[in-house]
Structure 1
Amino acid sequence: MSISPVRLNHAVLVVADLDRSVRFYTEVFNMELSSREPQLNAAFLRLPRSGNHHDLGLMGLAGATPPPARSVGLYHLGWQLDTIEELVELREILINAGAFTGESSHGATKSVYGSDPDGHGFEVMWMLPREAWGKYENAAVVEELDLRGEVAAWSGRRTAGEIVHESAVAPESTSRTA
């Protein structure tokens, strides 16, 4: 017998400089600080529209260094956006933050990539409407991303499912800094 979880609830990353990482995720992803735990040298962050207690945990470890390239470990975290326009906007934010590392189309998803100050990779993606997956239903291709064409085709189309809207977030949960 096995149990199938509903989704990944959160991820926890080890970081070399907790304050730097909190600043990065609050500025680039607009995450909110849900909890700071000094005795653990940890911070827990929430995406404003997730409705989750925390989506990302950061554990500070002074002197920590990234693992060597091509070693076993986390490849990247994947964050989903609701509209293709949000992907365009986040691409620019990543470029301006010096965190952009690439982009691609995976057929059913359109993605931009980046890395945080400790080198943790992440993908930020927008997913086609389920009925448009077509030949990508069971394929994971890597193709060139035509973001302008995707915006022309899918502008205004929301696909992230039910999300918590900013107006539903409690006022006391909007703290962004330590």
Structure 2
Amino acid sequence: MGIGPVRLNHAVLFVADLGRAEAFYTQVFGMEVAAREPRANAAFLRLPRSGNHHDLGLFGVGAGAPPKQRGGIGLYHLAWQVDTIEELEAARKLLAEAGAYTGESSHGATKSIYGADPDGNEFEIMWMLPRADWGEFENAAPIERLDLAAEIQRWGGVSTAFEQGAR
């Protein structure tokens, strides 16, 4: 029998410059600072629609820390869910404007936009199909080209994050 968690509560990232990372996540993601811990050079951020104390912790380690190496052992990316496909489109535009957009793909049941923060920490912004529409993707996660315009045409106005348990 396993531990039985219900979801990932928060993630913590080491960053070179705490102020720069805090500015990125508050400006690009709209997060708010829930708490700061100066002794640890840390900030704890909350998503605007979250009922959580904090969703992301940032610990500043200084510019002298070795950079993250893509393909090395460790965290690949964080995935943040949005409620509608239109929010995914808005995220793509905002990430492009911020110089943080790195790509996009369809994984069948999820549609994804990718980006990276100023320290190179990668993240995914994703929208999930309604559970009843997963169909052939119930047990599959392909990596395919995302046709966002077609997805908006098909799924526009459909809210799914709250059916998954978000607030």
Q: Name the TM-score class by shorter chain.
A: over 0.9
Whole-Å separation in 1 of the counterparts to 2:2 and 2:135: 30
User: Partner of 1:155 in structure 2?
Assistant: 156
Note if 1:103 corresponds to 2:104. yes
RMSD between aligned alpha carbons? Answer: 0.9
Whole-Å separation in 2 of the counterparts to 1:113 and 1:44: 22
Identity %: 65
Q: Deviations over 1:101-159 (max 9, x none)?
A: 00000000000000000000000000000111110000010000000000000110000
User: Partner of 2:118 in structure 1?
Assistant: 117
Q: Which runs of 5+ in 2 are unaligned?
A: none
Offset at 1:65? 2.9
- Runs of 4+ more than 4 Å apart: none
User: Partner of 1:94 in structure 2?
Assistant: 95
> Scaled by the length of structure 2, what TM-score is found?
0.96
One-letter code of the match for 1:45? L
Offset at 1:34? 0.3
> Scaled by the length of structure 1, what TM-score is found?
0.90
Offset at 1:50? 1.0
Question: Alignment length, in residue pairs?
Answer: 164
User: Partner of 1:168 in structure 2?
Assistant: none
Whole-Å separation in 1 of the counterparts to 2:66 and 2:100: 18
The structure showing larger relative contact order (alpha-carbon pairs under 8 Å, at least 6 residues apart) is 1
Q: Which runs of 5+ in 1 are unaligned?
A: 165-178
Whole-Å separation in 2 of the counterparts to 1:140 and 1:150: 17
User: Partner of 1:173 in structure 2?
Assistant: none
User: Partner of 2:85 in structure 1?
Assistant: 84
